[in-house]
Amino acid sequence: MANNATITASGTVGLTWQAPSSNGGSPIIDYKIFYKTGTGAYSDLASNITATSYTASSLQAGVIYNFKVAARNAVNLGPDSSEVAVRAAAIPN
């Protein structure tokens, strides 16, 4: 599963991803998004996302955020996507 990020507004990051090529034999129900800053552990950002896009808001401008996504089917969460790092930008002066 690949994911991409774009900055859409100050403190906001838009994430998009593609469904995994294999669903493990059970249809995908939804997605779970994880994030971290620095060398910290990943935390849950959002769950039960049924689309292949999400807008993360209320982020701290200038901070680099790492995001990854996992698909969930009736069995469990699948493997995490590759990680994408984005610096949350501020509106220019």
Residue 75 has pLDDT above 60, yes or no: yes
How confident is the prediction for the chain on average, in pLDDT? 88
DSSP state of 39: T
Domain ranges of the chain: 3-87
Condensed to tens digits (0 to 9), the pLDDT of residues 29-52 reads 999 999 999 999 999 999 999 999
Give the distance between the most distant pair of CA atoms in the chain.
Answer: 51
CATH class of segment(s) 3-87: mainly beta
pLDDT, position 92: 65
Report how far residue 73's alpha carbon sits from residue 93's, in angstroms, rounded to the nearest whole number.
45
Q: Find where tokens 């994880």 sit.
A: 34
Report how far residue 29's alpha carbon sits from residue 26's, in angstroms, rounded to the nearest whole number.
9
Report how far residue 61's alpha carbon sits from residue 25's, in angstroms, rounded to the nearest whole number.
41
